[in-house]
Structure 1
Amino acid sequence: MLILASASPRRYELLTQAGLSFTAVAADLNEELLPDEAAAAYVQRLAEEKAQAIWNANRGSDSTDDPLVVLGADTCVVSEGSILGKPTDASDARRMLNLLSGRTHAVLTGLAVVTAHRIVRDVEITQVTFNQLTDAEIGRYIASGEPLDKAGAYGIQGYAARWIPRIDGCYFNVVGLPIARTIALLAEAQAPFAVL
């Protein structure tokens, strides 16, 4: 049984498109950045904490033979040394979009898969280039409401696609879940347990 430890509709849709059968359960965790925590460490930690929390809440009484598999993921945007999560309000979204305007930034997704026998993890990184944005464009985009629930205040699969002339890396990572890497990680986590 596979559980996606996320409430993200985009991750749910991507896993469904990949043909996986699963349920989704959100993990209620503190997602604050730790002091001096690097972006890759941050998304990796949150992905693992989410997966572990849902594993602990749903595992069977005999966890050594439990077929439960939990996938955790967390995404952030990094621009000019700043880690951008989801904006807190319209003003924060404007700040983020101004920071991304005319620059190339990184989108990082931490992945973690927890099973009875192992935890496997990885971080996928995609570089995204934005055109220069006008204040009016940013204002219209914020008024649409689209950027308010997305890391970095934009969705590549929506209106903001018009501003992105180039990416280097996995497109699906920018949407919220690098599918090819996720499938490989799930396979790795469920490979026969080797006893040394």
Structure 2
Amino acid sequence: MNIILASASERRHELLKRIIKDFKITVSDFDEGSIEFKGNFEEYVKSLSRGKATSVANNCIDDAIIIGCDTIVAFNGEVLGKPKDENEAFNMLEKLSGGIHNVYSGVTLIRKSDNKIFEESVCTEVKFSNITKDDIRAYIKTGEPFDKAGAYGIQGYGGLFVEGIKGCYYNIVGLPINKLNYMLKQAII
């Protein structure tokens, strides 16, 4: 069975290789801005992952399983996506400093043979230490915050800010591989 990852993320490519050695990558053209956040983080990330998977599935003629995923940071009822500029990255990191936030990922699998959808969300709690303004500015200069929800990457320099986590580490990186592995076993049966 062909497996297709609907993502341009290098982090997701690397993590998926831990489960499956042979898969294809088809970048989704789904407009994430078309989904409005209505207060439920789990439903929001599932809608985003479903949109990505559906976009690729609609253009796929092969019998395949398409994997869509999306990750957000949630803090005080607000979605923190990828920062648009240095100022937005600074503001996000300053908000997260010294507090607890949640990282949500939605994972959607579409089995093309019967168009069955498998869908889950995963939440991981993250505790940040207190970060000085100078530390935030230095981190922003690395360029790392700009393609990551919440303006940090736990697998990179941003990991220095993380005091502790409750839940799946790989969810914070962008692909909850334990949950995905289980879902793939269900979809391939």
Fold equivalence (TM over 0.5): yes
1:144 partnered with 2:145: no
For structure 2, the 5+ residue unaligned runs are none
Aligned mates of 2:87, 2:21 — CA distance in 1: 38
Poorly superposed stretches of 4+, deviation over 6 Å: none
1:2 partnered with 2:10: no
Q: Which residue of 2 aligns with 1:177?
A: 175
TM alignment of 1:14-93, pairs within 5 A: 14-32=15-33, 33-34=35-36, 36-60=38-62, 66=63, 68-93=64-89
Q: 1:159-187: CA deviations, max 9, x gaps?
A: 11111121000000000001011011111
TM alignment of 1:156-175, pairs within 5 A: 156-175=154-173
Deviation of the 1:80 alpha carbon? 1.3
- For 2:85, give the aligned amino acid: D
SS of the residue aligned with 1:108?
A: strand
Q: Which residue of 2 aligns with 1:63?
A: none
For structure 1, the 5+ residue unaligned runs are 61-65, 192-196
C-alpha spacing 1:35/1:129, structure 2 compared with 1 (3 Å): closer
- For 2:80, give the aligned amino acid: L
Size of the alignment, in residue pairs?
Answer: 185
Q: Report percent identity of matched pairs.
A: 40
Q: Which residue of 2 aligns with 1:97?
A: 93
TM-score, length-scaled by structure 2: 0.94
Aligned mates of 1:101, 1:124 — CA distance in 2: 23
Deviation of the 1:35 alpha carbon? 5.2
Q: Of 177, 181, 184, which residue of structure 2 is paired with 1:186? A: 184
> Which has more strand, going by share of residues?
2
SS of the residue aligned with 2:21?
A: coil
Contact 2:37 2:44 in 1 (8 A): no
- For 2:127, give the aligned amino acid: T
Aligned mates of 2:52, 2:178 — CA distance in 1: 21
SS of the residue aligned with 1:58?
A: coil
Q: 1:75-114: CA deviations, max 9, x gaps?
A: 0000111101111111111111011100010000000000
Q: 1:128-172: CA deviations, max 9, x gaps?
A: 000011000000000110001001000000111111121000000
C-alpha spacing 1:26/1:37, structure 2 compared with 1 (3 Å): farther
- For 1:5, give the aligned amino acid: A
C-alpha spacing 1:171/1:35, structure 2 compared with 1 (3 Å): closer
